[in-house]
Amino acid sequence: MGLAIIEQAAKEEIRRFIDRGPTAKELERVQTQYRASFLRGIERVGGFGGKSGVLAENMVYGGSPDRYQRKLDYIADASRADLQTVVGEWLGENAYIAEVYPHPAMTAAPAGADRSKPPEPAGFPSGEFPEFDRVTLTNGLDILVAQRTAIPLVNLTLILNAGFAADQFAQPGTAAMTMAMLAANPINMALMSDPPSLPPRLLGPGGARAAF
């Protein structure tokens, strides 16, 4: 496929965006994703998106390390019309288009570094982890809670013994047999022909059938 075809398709999509703009749900989803990504990034101290990078970038380009707060406000307050205006101004007919081609194949220089063995680490940092509380519910489910107050986020992970993991020690294959019997049941054959109509507990990722 030539670059001209790709460029034409991109221009058509941009033109549709300029004419119609995003839907309200699309705008809300992107705003939420951006803020969540920002909060996840500043969990780290260094690296791209970490605290040090955010403060340094805003100091260099914005003149103040807390300039990011204004950027967050701009994104949170952006409207559909704002996006249409900005896209029309910067991605419209006057947009600059650059064609980038792959570099030729490159090889390592024969000298300048010792490649006979991997470099040895100078040391290992010590890990510091928050204390956690453990509670067992009446149904036997263990709850572990580790609290960190640096950023306003809640991260939840649920792990259940399910599928093959729930097979009895002396009876391996129980989960697989259960799923096979569901498929063999004449009453359920119609349901099996349309996976989305099955109960959620019988659906795995992407609608795949799995016994739990």
pLDDT tens profile 69-116: 999 999 999 999 999 999 998 988 888 888 888 888 888 777 777 778
Least confident stretch, 46-50, 90-94, 142-146, 162-166: 162-166
Q: What mean pLDDT, rounded, does the chain reach?
A: 80
pLDDT for the residue numbered 92: 84
pLDDT (tens digit per residue) in 40-51: 898 888 878 889
| Rounded CA separation 82/73 (Å) | 14
Mean pLDDT of 186-201: 51
Mean pLDDT of 179-188: 64
In this structure, the chain runs to a length of: 212
pLDDT (tens digit per residue) in 15-36: 999 999 999 999 999 999 999 9
CATH superfamily of 3-90: Metalloenzyme, LuxS/M16 peptidase-like (3.30.830.10)
Amino acid at site 13: E
Q: Are 38 and 74 in contact (CB under 8 A)?
A: no
Tell the burial category of 139 from Cβ atoms under 10 Å away from its Cβ (0-12, 13-18, 19+): exposed
Which tokens sit at 41?
Answer: 């990034």
How many CB atoms are located within 10 Å of the residue 211 CB? 19
* Domain ranges within the chain, ordered by starting residue: 3-90, 163-207
pLDDT at residue 4 tops 80: yes
3-class DSSP assignment, residue 6:
helix
Q: Are 166 and 173 in contact (CB under 8 A)?
A: no
Share of the chain above pLDDT 90, in %: 33
